[in-house]
C-alpha cells in the first residue's frame, strides 16, 4: 500500500456566528493515500469546502488532528503553514483564482518563486513546461481576463502542480465552466493521476466528476459516508407553524388597519371602499386566527 | 526571507498595478509631488532670500557702528566732529535717510531718499552706476536714481525729476533735481531697506526736510574691530542719548525676521505633505480592497504575511519615489516662478536660486517617508486578511 498523504483524526469544525454554532464537520476521519483520486460528493453547505480548507491548512479544526505528509499541522506557526501550502499542497478553486496582474506564465511561476527554490529563469522554464502539459503553451502571455473559464482552470491546475505537491485539492473544479471545458479538465486530471501518479482530492456536487475517482466518498451535514445517504433532501424539514412569522404578519395587518383608519378620518376613501378594504383585512386576520 | 525572484514578482505586481490604474496612480503621484514641490520651492526661495539679505547687509559692513536718534532726523551733525576725538575711529560720515517719492511727468515711484556726501558715497556704500556719474562736492539739485525707478517712471539721464519726502515729514514741497546717474539694481545701499532708493547731496536732503544741521545716521568705521566695544562705550559716555547698533546685529535681526517668515511658510507647505499622506493611504487602502482576493490566492499558494506586506509597501514606495522626483523638479521650476513673483510683492532684488542639495534630499526623503508611513497601516491590514475570507470575497 502506498503511503498516507493526508490523515484526519476526529476532525470537528464549529463556526460561531454570534450566538449560533454551526457544526460544519463532525468527527471526520479520513486517510488519503499517494496516487489516489478521491472524489468527495456533497451538496452545498455539507461541509465540503471546510474539509478542503482544513486539509489545505487554510483553516484549523476546532478539534482533532490533521497530518499532512507526515507533519502534524496543528502546532505549526502561520509562516510554517505558508511553507507547507507552498510545497505540499496545490489548490484549484471553482472560480480559478488567478492573479490578474500576472500573465498565465507568471501565475504558474508564482508558487515556484514563493518557494524560494528557483531563480526566475528556472521558474520560467518549469512553468512553461507545465503550461505545455495542460495544453496552453499558446496562451502563456495572456492575462487571466483574456482567457476562457476552461483555459483559466487549466492554468490553475498547472499552478497547483508547480511545486510537485503531495496532494492537489480541487473545490468544484468544473463548477464554473461549460461541458466541453469540464470534459477537458476532467480528462486532464484523470490523465495526470493515471500517468504521473499525482494525488487528487476533489470535492464537488457534479456526479460526472465521480466517474474519474478511484474512490468516492459522500459528505452530508459534516459527516463522511462510504455510500450515498438516502435522500439528498433529508436536511430540509418543512416548518409546520412559526409563531414569529405569524406575529410579524399580524403586525403588518395592524399597520394596514391604522392606515385605513387614517384614510377614513380624512375622508380619502368613501364608505363602500372602506367597507371593502376592512372586509379584506378581517378575512386575513381570521386566517391567522385573530378577530379584529 | 526575500529572494531575488520574489523581489522581481513584487516589482511586477506593483508596476502593473500602477500602470493598470493610470489615473489613480497619477492623482496619487500628483498629490505627493505637489506637496514636495511646494516644500522645495519655498525652501529654495527662502535660502535665496537668506543669502541675498546677508550679502546685502554685509555690503554695509563698511560701517562698523551706526549712531542714530529716536526721531527721523535728530542727530546733530556736529556729533560727527566730536567723534573724531575718540581714539581708534577711522572714518565717520553723516547720512540723512527718509522715505519719499520720485516723480516725473510719466509717473511716481516710492523710494528711500538718501542724503550723503560724495566722499562717503565712495567709502560707505557700494553703488555702481550703469550710466552717468557720481555727484561732486558742493553740487546741488542732482540725483542718482535706482535703475528700477528709472525704468518705472521712464526717466533718463539729464531729465529733471521731483524728489518728495513722505507726506508725514514736514516740508513736503519737493525738490527738483537733474538725474546725473542711474545705479545698478543689484547695487546695495546697505540692508536698511530692500526697496529702491535715490541719492541726493546731504545738504539738499537736509534742506528738503527743513532740518539743517541734523542727520538721521552717523556711520562709523573703526580702525580695528577689537575696539568696537570700547568705542561704543566712549560714544555712550559722550552722548548718553545716542542709540548705537553694530552692523552684525542688523544682519542678525534681519535674518531672524526673514527666517521666521520663511520658516513659517515652509511649515505651511507641510500641510501639503499631510494631504499627500492621506492620498497615499487612500490609494493603498483602495488597492488592498481591490486585491483582497489576490491576497487570499497568494496566501493559499504559500505566500508569507511579510511578503504581502512588502508587495503593498513597494507600490507605495514606487509611487512616492516618482512623486518625489517630479515634486523636486516642479519645486525647482516653482522656485524660479516664485522669484519672478516676488518683485510684485515689493521686493526689488532678484533672489538667487541655489539648488541646495540638502533641501532636495529632504524633499525626496519627505515624500518617501510620507509614502511609506501612509501605506504602513493599510499594507499591514492587508497582510492580516484571512485567506478563507479573502477567497470568498467578490
pLDDT tens digits, one per residue of B195-232: 577 889 988 888 888 888 889 888 888 888 788 888 88
Residues of B in contact with A102 (CB under 8 A): 9, 12-13, 16
What is the pLDDT at residue B192? 44
- Mean pLDDT (whole number) for A146-157: 92
- Out of A86, A99, A113, the one facing B5 most closely (by C-beta) is A113
What is the torsional sign of CA A267, A270, A274, A275? positive
pLDDT tens, residue by residue, B238-269? 888 888 888 777 777 777 777 787 788 888 88
Grid coordinates representing B3 are: 529572494
Q: Residue holding cell 519726502?
A: B165
Contact B125, B189 (CB under 8 A): yes
**A13 interface with B at CB cutoff 8 Å:** no
- Distance between CA atoms of residues A252 and B215, nearest Å: 98
- Distance between CA atoms of residues B319 and B22, nearest Å: 11
**Shortest alpha-carbon distance between residue B278 and chain A (Å):** 25
* Surface of A (159-218) touching B: CB under 8 A: 159, 163
- Out of B8, B293, B305, the one facing A97 most closely (by C-beta) is B293
Contact A280, A253 (CB under 8 A): no
pLDDT tens, residue by residue, A10-33? 999 998 888 888 888 999 999 999
**B391 interface with A at CB cutoff 8 Å:** yes
Residues of A in contact with B6 (CB under 8 A): 113-114, 116
Q: What is the ipTM of this complex?
A: 0.79
pLDDT tens, residue by residue, B347-373? 666 778 888 899 999 999 999 999 999
What is the pLDDT at residue B118? 84
- Out of B5, B12, B391, the one facing A123 most closely (by C-beta) is B5
Q: Which residue of B has its CA nearest to A59?
A: B388
Angle between helices A78-88 and A104-115 (to 10 degrees): 130
On the question of pLDDT at B308 being above 60, the answer is yes
On the question of pLDDT at A231 being above 70, the answer is no
Torsion angle, CA of A17/A22/A25/A27, rounded to 10 degrees? 110
Tell me the whole-structure pTM to 2 decimals: 0.70
Which residues 6+ apart lie within 8 Å of A266 measured at CB?
none
A91 with B300: Cβ contact below 8 A:
yes
Question: What is the pLDDT confidence band of residue B169, given thresholds at 50, 70 and 90?
Answer: low
- Mean pLDDT score of chain B, rounded to an integer? 84
- Distance between CA atoms of residues A151 and A47, nearest Å: 28
Phi, psi of A14 (to 5 degrees): -120, 125
Question: What is the pLDDT confidence band of residue A264, given thresholds at 50, 70 and 90?
Answer: confident
- Mean pLDDT (whole number) for A136-151: 92
Of B64 and A209, more confident: A209
Q: Which of A45, A54, A82 to mutate to test the interface with B (most CBs of B within 10 A)?
A: A82
**Shortest alpha-carbon distance between residue B279 and chain A (Å):** 23
On the question of pLDDT at A256 being above 70, the answer is yes
- Distance between CA atoms of residues B88 and B207, nearest Å: 32
pLDDT tens, residue by residue, B76-104? 888 888 887 888 888 888 888 888 888 88
Beta strand segments in B202-340, E: 214-215, 217-222, 243-246
- Distance between CA atoms of residues B220 and B93, nearest Å: 7
On the question of pLDDT at B377 being above 90, the answer is yes
pLDDT tens, residue by residue, A104-130? 999 999 999 999 889 999 999 999 999
Contact A242, A64 (CB under 8 A): no
B388 with A123: Cβ contact below 8 A:
no
- Mean pLDDT score of chain A, rounded to an integer? 88
On the question of pLDDT at B109 being above 50, the answer is yes
What is the pLDDT at residue B187? 47
What is the torsional sign of CA A178, A184, A187, A193? negative
Strand B142-146 vs strand B217-222: parallel, antiparallel, or unpaired?
unpaired
Of B324 and B173, more confident: B324
E strand or H helix that includes residue A17? strand A4-17
Which residues 6+ apart lie within 8 Å of B187 measured at CB?
B126, B127, B128
- Mean pLDDT (whole number) for A163-190: 90
On the question of pLDDT at B20 being above 80, the answer is yes
- Distance between CA atoms of residues A134 and A150, nearest Å: 11
Phi, psi of A257 (to 5 degrees): -65, -45
Amino acid at each position: 500500500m502506498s503511503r498516507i498523504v493526508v490523515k484526519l483524526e476526529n476532525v470537528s469544525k464549529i463556526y460561531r456566528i454570534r450566538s449560533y454554532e454551526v457544526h460544519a464537520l463532525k468527527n471526520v476521519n479520513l486517510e488519503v493515500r499517494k496516487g489516489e483520486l478521491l472524489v468527495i460528493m456533497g451538496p452545498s453547505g455539507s461541509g465540503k469546502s471546510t474539509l478542503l480548507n482544513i486539509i489545505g491548512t487554510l483553516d484549523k479544526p476546532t478539534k482533532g488532528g490533521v497530518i499532512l505528509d507526515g507533519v502534524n499541522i496543528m502546532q505549526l506557526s502561520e509562516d510554517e503553514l505558508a511553507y507547507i501550502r507552498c510545497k505540499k499542497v496545490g489548490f484549484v478553486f471553482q472560480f480559478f483564482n488567478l492573479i490578474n496582474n500576472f500573465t498565465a506564465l507568471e501565475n504558474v511561476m508564482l508558487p515556484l518563486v514563493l518557494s524560494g527554490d528557483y531563480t526566475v529563469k528556472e521558474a520560467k522554464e518549469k512553468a512553461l513546461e507545465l503550461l505545455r502539459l495542460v495544453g496552453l503553451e499558446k496562451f502563456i502571455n495572456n492575462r487571466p481576463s483574456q482567457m476562457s473559464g476552461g483555459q483559466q482552470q487549466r492554468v490553475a491546475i498547472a499552478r497547483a502542480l508547480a511545486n510537485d505537491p503531495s496532494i492537489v485539492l480541487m473545490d468544484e473544479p468544473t463548477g464554473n465552466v461549460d461541458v466541453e471545458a469540464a470534459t477537458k479538465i476532467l480528462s486532464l486530471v484523470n490523465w495526470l493521476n493515471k500517468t504521473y501518479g499525482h494525488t487528487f482530492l476533489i470535492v464537488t456536487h457534479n456526479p460526472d466528476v465521480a466517474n474519474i475517482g478511484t474512490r468516492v466518498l459522500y459528505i452530508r451535514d459534516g459527516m463522511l459516508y462510504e455510500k450515498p445517504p438516502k435522500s439528498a433532501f433529508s436536511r430540509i424539514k418543512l416548518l409546520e407553524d412559526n409563531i414569529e412569522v405569524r406575529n410579524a404578519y399580524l403586525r403588518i395587518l395592524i399597520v394596514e388597519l391604522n392606515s385605513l383608519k387614517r384614510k377614513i378620518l380624512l375622508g380619502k376613501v368613501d364608505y363602500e371602499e372602506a367597507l371593502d378594504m376592512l372586509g379584506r383585512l378581517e378575512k386575513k386576520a381570521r386566517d391567522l386566527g385573530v378577530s379584529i | 526571507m526575500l529572494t531575488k525572484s520574489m523581489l522581481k514578482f513584487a516589482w511586477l505586481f506593483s508596476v502593473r498595478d500602477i500602470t493598470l490604474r493610470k489615473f489613480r496612480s497619477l492623482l496619487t503621484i500628483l498629490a505627493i509631488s505637489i506637496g514636495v514641490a511646494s516644500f522645495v520651492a519655498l525652501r529654495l526661495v527662502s535660502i535665496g532670500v537668506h543669502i541675498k539679505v546677508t550679502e546685502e547687509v554685509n555690503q554695509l559692513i563698511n560701517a562698523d557702528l551706526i549712531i542714530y536718534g529716536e526721531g527721523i532726523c535728530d542727530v546733530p551733525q556736529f556729533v560727527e566732529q566730536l567723534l573724531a576725538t575718540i581714539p581708534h575711529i577711522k572714518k565717520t560720515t553723516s547720512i540723512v535717510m527718509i522715505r519719499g517719492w520720485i516723480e516725473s511727468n510719466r509717473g511716481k515711484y516710492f523710494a528711500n531718499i538718501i542724503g550723503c556726501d560724495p566722499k562717503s558715497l565712495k567709502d560707505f556704500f557700494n553703488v555702481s552706476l550703469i550710466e552717468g556719474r557720481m555727484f561732486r562736492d558742493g553740487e546741488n539739485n542732482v540725483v542718482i536714481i535706482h535703475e528700477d525707478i528709472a525704468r518705472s517712471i521712464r526717466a533718463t539721464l539729464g531729465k529733471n525729476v521731483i524728489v518728495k519726502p513722505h507726506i508725514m515729514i514736514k516740508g513736503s514741497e519737493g525738490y527738483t533735481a537733474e538725474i546725473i546717474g542711474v545705479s545698478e539694481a543689484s547695487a546695495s545701499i546697505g540692508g536698511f531697506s530692500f526697496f529702491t532708493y535715490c541719492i541726493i547731496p546731504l545738504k539738499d536732503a537736509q534742506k528738503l526736510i527743513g532740518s539743517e544741521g541734523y542727520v538721521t545716521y552717523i556711520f562709523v568705521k573703526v580702525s580695528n574691530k577689537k575696539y568696537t566695544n570700547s568705542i561704543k562705550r566712549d560714544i555712550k559716555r559722550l552722548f548718553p542719548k545716542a542709540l548705537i547698533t553694530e552692523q552684525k546685529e542688523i544682519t542678525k535681526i534681519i535674518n531672524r525676521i526673514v527666517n521666521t517668515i520663511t520658516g513659517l511658510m515652509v511649515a505651511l507647505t507641510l500641510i501639503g505633505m499631510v494631504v499627500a499622506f492621506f492620498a497615499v493611504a487612500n490609494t493603498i487602502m483602495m488597492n488592498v480592497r481591490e486585491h483582497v482576493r489576490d491576497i487570499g490566492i497568494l496566501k493559499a499558494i504559500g505566500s508569507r504575511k511579510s511578503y504581502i506586506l512588502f508587495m503593498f509597501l513597494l507600490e507605495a514606495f514606487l509611487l512616492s519615489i516618482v512623486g518625489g522626483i517630479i515634486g523636486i523638479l516642479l519645486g525647482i521650476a516653482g522656485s524660479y516662478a516664485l522669484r519672478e513673483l516676488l518683485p510684485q510683492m515689493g521686493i526689488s532684488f532678484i533672489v538667487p536660486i541655489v539648488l541646495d542639495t540638502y533641501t532636495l534630499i529632504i524633499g525626496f526623503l519627505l515624500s518617501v517617508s510620507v509614502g511609506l508611513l501612509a501605506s504602513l497601516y493599510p499594507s499591514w491590514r492587508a497582510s492580516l486578511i484571512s485567506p478563507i475570507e479573502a477567497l470568498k470575497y467578490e
